[in-house]
A and B are shown apart, each in its own frame.
Chain A
């Protein structure tokens, strides 16, 4: 396995030395797969295939098993994520208040399907179960900011605002 640079499916160069560092740190620890994956994701932002292959080789765990673990936990991502994560609440209260429409509108505005990242890698659109802010339903979170009492015709403005605020840089 070449340890310097490998290209991911997305065609960008990945610095595998960061992966090596993570593997090295947990060299003699049993059951260290999850901390390694966390460390790699913290460094690279997601878990690219070459990184998983390298971890597989070093830990002698098959790649299928590692991907199995990574896809089990919501915290791991196998595709690159955007700078900003939009979490649309689809909990009971929000659902009743029309969360589906909000999500559809966002998807249309950003030209990205649910769970995916925009082409310019700025936004990742995700559905979540409940944000615990039912009184503000329908609600969404952009990074750490909560936007409540949304409507399908106003939600585009929120995005516009974020973009305009230069916050996206």
Chain B
């Protein structure tokens, strides 16, 4: 990159070519006042405040945000002329500003206020004219006060460029210009709060804050968001021990200050009155509050009794996708070494059982993405079976950045039509027919080979079993695949060409693929595609194609890394391997009995249903509503004699428990989360739990162990992490203190140690499709997915999220709806062989015919009690119809 030297206010600085003066000064700690320029957004040049004196060949006045640097340029920020100009611009801006600083939540962090202050602007030469525009409060989260607006355009750009929504724009012109929606309709957007974050004045307000504190009173502490698997850094603003609002910082975290509605506004659950306050013990069908000591005494006695009578194998444990790595590590250590059972699992592994081993394989083979940032650096993005907008909204903004900055191409393939707003030049949206994922990927591979889109000679030399490829693909025809998938041959060819075009390609494999019954083969096929692309790429040390696996929750990756699965010890070392077992025995100072690692073909719920489990220990999960077969879970619980649940709220699962232990939320504990890009990030303890007698999960486990006669001498999660560092090879080198400054990327350290000269290997699978048996009584297939506004138990107790999105809809195809005379908003019953729910219908063109889509993240809608598996045959009828 070419660099430019220039002098700003007598300081010589060096910046990359093409930078504007404003950014150059900002990067070098020189302050230029400005309201409309924002490093994340495109240049606007509207506020006219950043005027500086520039000497190139001659001396002139330029706007710093709109003028690129040039070699030898001399910039003066504060000449008398410039200051005089700046003062008069501010006077105009303030002439009709509301100046309601004492009652404005922004006061104290308001750029307009700061600049007024520093230019000592008082009194004005003009008579102030107030606009008296009514304050727009048409939604529960954001408030727009146009009397404070300076029309800098930041919110308009943020909405369009970062979130891709464009819900607001400048309306009218001249003196009448204002920021608003079309026809002044209520704001209908994703409520990411990007407008609020970039607003330099108090025009946009966070209604979840509303006069509950002033910016200078807040203690601001960064931590990691507790919702999805992206792992955004959020900044909690606290006052007198309570969280008042969430903000973001453009310069910390992988999210660069971008958040989604859940991250920015879904914090109210921390202080929910519904939180569990004390341990509860069920007696005669009703819960009674108890002390910690009594509860733990009771649990340990009951568990000891089960161990004595039936052996440790009769106890099952479910770890949490939401708890920290330390909690989960200790959980599995406790289950394995104290309870002496290997019947432990987590919901992520239960839902997609083949993912862990394939994910780890892809890391070892250097196919997996080493960080979520690879989305930003991609030149081609391929979202396969994932709904980025709903599932990982901030990863979606990273994708939009790639589109904006690298002119990246975008390919989205899914069963349903997915909304993703982007402005990619090459934007391909594919919908493949149900169950035809593997033929689709195979067709892409076949096209790549047939059209020689990659360097086949190079691929042949670097793939050891390349000769198997022609054999396997001999009988496969793209034409047939086109018929099976419902995607035209031409589209598939275009897709294959885009995938293989020069530059990096980032493939995101989504939940719809991972949880499919054919997931194992689909992911293998996808890995083959990556192997072909990587093997033929020139040796630049960086792999061309990288694969990113979607995870659902904040620590779905971590819970698996920590080995809360029956197949693996922490760090994906198999439990069936005796040497791994001995190694762990040595590290933990225990001796496992031989029979506990016997391979079970049944999962934990099936075992419980068969009566094999007498006790169940569930940490921070609500499987009754989050496992795709709720009835099975219910039966499993009924068969299990004794259930202990530790959670923040009294969830549906906790209600069925015998003992419930209250735990703390993310804001009240320390530890680490691992995101779906295998990046480990550290949480900070921000407040003490107030009004609840709750403890962090790791501490509960420690005390539990003590009652069981074992001593765990961990003083804090730091101690647990240092044990993880020595026991878990993939986390070796992690340091708790260093995490405060820098994230830890375990995938890059693992794939970095890979032998680069090792040959690639293809893992060829059969291109089979999934057949869903047509069922006369239940003609529809129920498909579930994620929701932007809700996730897990926390969102349900966050008023802002519930008020934005109070209702779960059944999305169905327009043609299906017409046949049954169902209209938008009609109450419809979705009934399977097991159960039924009544929901409001949403008639869209998004779902293909024969498929009804329901989000499963509205926890109070028991959709998973209707489901009998990943795809459930159901029937649909109007509520008033058949009942």
Contact = CB atoms under 8 A, between A and B. Distances in A.
Contacts of A65: 160, 166, 169
A72 B173 contact: yes
B149 to A, nearest CB: 15
Nearest to B172: A71
26 contacts: A49-B182, A62-B160, A62-B165, A62-B167, A62-B182, A63-B182, A64-B168, A64-B169, A64-B180, A64-B182, A65-B160, A65-B166, A65-B169, A66-B182, A67-B169, A67-B182, A67-B183, A68-B169, A68-B170, A68-B171, A68-B182, A71-B171, A71-B172, A71-B173, A72-B172, A78-B183
B404 to A, nearest CB: 16
A75 to B, nearest CB: 12
Most buried by B among A49, A52, A72, A78: A72
Contacts of B169: 62, 64-65, 67-68
A129 B173 CA distance: 15
B290 interface: no
Contacts of B171: 64, 67-68, 71
A117 B172 CA distance: 19
Contact of A64 (B172, B173, B181): B181
Interface of A: 49, 52, 60-68, 71-72, 78
A64 B179 CA distance: 10
A64 B168 CA distance: 6
A52 B182 contact: yes
Closest 10 CB pairs of A and B: A62-B166, A68-B169, A63-B182, A67-B182, A64-B169, A64-B182, A71-B172, A65-B169, A72-B173, A64-B181
Most buried by B among A52, A60, A67, A78: A67
Given A68-B171, A71-B172, A49 B183 contact: yes
Nearest to A2: B814
Nearest to B170: A68
Interface residues of B, number: 15
Interface in B139-179: 160, 165-173
Q: Does more than half of chain A's interface fall in helix, strand or loop, or is it mixed?
A: helix
A68 B159 CA distance: 14
A145 to B, nearest CB: 29
A57 to B, nearest CB: 11
Contacts of A60: 421
Contacts of A62: 160, 165-167, 169, 182
A72 B166 CA distance: 17
A48 to B, nearest CB: 10
Contacts of B172: 71-72
Most buried by A among B171, B172, B182, B421: B182
Nearest to B165: A62
A61 B166 contact: yes
Nearest to B176: A71
A63 B167 CA distance: 8
Given A67-B183, A71-B171, 6 more contacts: A49-B182, A52-B182, A61-B166, A62-B166, A62-B167, A68-B182
Nearest to B177: A72
B144 to A, nearest CB: 13
B182 to A, nearest CB: 4
A10 to B, nearest CB: 13
Contacts of A67: 169, 171, 181-183
Nearest to A69: B169
A96 to B, nearest CB: 22
Contacts of A63: 181-183
A67 B167 CA distance: 11
A63 B183 CA distance: 9
Contacts of B166: 61-62, 64-65
A72 B180 CA distance: 13
A97 to B, nearest CB: 25
A71 B174 CA distance: 11
B418 to A, nearest CB: 14
Most buried by A among B165, B167, B181, B183: B183
Contacts of A72: 170, 172-173
Nearest to B173: A72
Contacts of B167: 62, 64
Interface string B817-838: 0000000000000000000000
B252 to A, nearest CB: 30
Nearest to A56: B182
Interface string B177-216: 0001111000000000000000000000000000000000
A50 to B, nearest CB: 11
A49 B169 CA distance: 16
A66 B170 CA distance: 10
Contacts of B168: 64
Contacts of B182: 49, 52, 62-64, 66-68
Most buried by A among B167, B169, B172: B169
Contacts of B180: 64
A32 B181 CA distance: 21
A4 B377 CA distance: 44
A52 B168 CA distance: 15
B821 to A, nearest CB: 16
B368 to A, nearest CB: 33
Interface string B118-131: 00000000000000
A71 to B, nearest CB: 5
A68 B177 CA distance: 9
A60 B165 CA distance: 10
A161 to B, nearest CB: 34
Interface in B357-397: none
A68 B421 CA distance: 19
Interface in B758-815: none
B844 to A, nearest CB: 11
Contacts of B421: 60
B170 to A, nearest CB: 5
A71 B169 CA distance: 11
Interface string B210-225: 0000000000000000
A65 B157 CA distance: 11
Contacts of B173: 71-72
A64 to B, nearest CB: 4
A133 B103 CA distance: 51
A67 B166 CA distance: 12
Nearest to B183: A49
A54 B167 CA distance: 16
Contacts of A68: 169-171, 182
A52 B183 CA distance: 10
A78 B185 CA distance: 14
A64 B180 CA distance: 7
Most buried by A among B167, B170, B421: B170
Interface in B417-447: 421
Contacts of A78: 183
A49 B181 CA distance: 12
Contacts of A49: 182-183
B193 to A, nearest CB: 17
Nearest to B845: A1
A117 B173 CA distance: 21
A88 to B, nearest CB: 19
A51 to B, nearest CB: 12
Contacts of B181: 63-64, 67
A66 B167 CA distance: 11
A60 B173 CA distance: 23
Nearest to B187: A64
Contacts of A61: 166
B183 to A, nearest CB: 6
Nearest to A1: B845
A78 B169 CA distance: 16
Contacts of B183: 49, 63, 67, 78
A67 B168 CA distance: 10
B731 to A, nearest CB: 44
A61 to B, nearest CB: 7
